[in-house]
Amino acid sequence: MELFFMTLTTGILVGGIYALVALGWVLIYKCSGVLNLAMGELTLIGAYVSLSFYSMGVPFILALAISLVIGFVLGVLTERIFLDKLIGEPVLTVIMVTVGLSFFFKGCIELIWGTDTQVFEPSVFPLEPIRIGPLVIGQVYLWSFVAAIILLIVFVSFFKYTRWGLAMQATADDEMAALSIGVSARFVYAAAWAIAFMAAGVGGTLLGNINGLNISVGYLGLLVLPAVVLGGLNSVPGAIVGGVIIGILQNFCGAYLDRFFPGGVKEIAPFVFMAVFLLFKPYGLWGWERIERV
């Protein structure tokens, strides 16, 4: 039972970080109907920017804030340079552009920061674990989860209660209707990419504090895809719930199945679960069901 509760707790804490990255997937899909397959590289860029400033002696909170600002600027530039001219083009065309962006960003990251594993030194979070009864929780997991939840609340509040956020929702619901009342689709898409850069970058920074930072962390951005599909590609609450569920599933598979199926069942399990889940709920738990009548 001690192993069970330890695994469950760790899964929830890591799942909160996955939910933050999943939010970036959902925002872009809600506004443009496009799956951004460069999300893994977005997590890396934000994480390396935070690490670079932290290594220069900048306090971690300030380094994280700077990475948010840089992520916002990079998100707007990416949309303006690579995607602005594709508004109205087939969705598959835009998706293939995000694949190209993935390789482009990955090459830039390797050129600037290399491929060796780097860690936040000195450690950002205390190394002494917190003991709650029989549970032993690493402080890096706990505080990363707290930071992820705070930022999730900020982003969701922006999306629901601000003028810009409501404009994004209107465009997601009905682009033509939003355009007819003066909402700028160009602004909405740029804002979606900017927020996706920011959310993914913070998620990458928190994950880098847990396991160290190298090019393989970009894979974790793709690992979030099952969480997005589970919750529903256009559901913000679904992204949060899906992230927590995938975090729990991944940790339970690592704790109980790795001994029987050595070789990475922890990384494969979320995608297997996604494939089976789609057979029964193609639109996810809270996704919009599209019904076409002829």
Q: Residue ranges per domain, the chain?
A: 2-280
Averaged pLDDT, groups of 10, the chain, 294 residues long: 84 86 80 79 89 91 91 89 78 86 90 87 82 79 83 80 78 72 79 85 85 79 83 81 89 85 80 87 71 52
Angle (CA) 150-156-157 rounded to 5° is 90
The C-alpha R_g of the chain, in whole angstroms, comes to 19
pLDDT at 288: 60
CA angle 287, 152, 177 (to 5 degrees): 50
CA–CA gap between residue 183 and residue 193 (Å, rounded): 17
Return the pLDDT at 66.
Answer: 92
pLDDT at residue 70, rounded to an integer: 92
d(CA 189, CA 87): 9
What is the pLDDT at residue 287? 65
Fold assignment, 2-280: ABC transporter involved in vitamin B12 uptake, BtuC (1.10.3470)
Is residue 38 within 8 A of residue 102, CB to CB? The reply is: yes
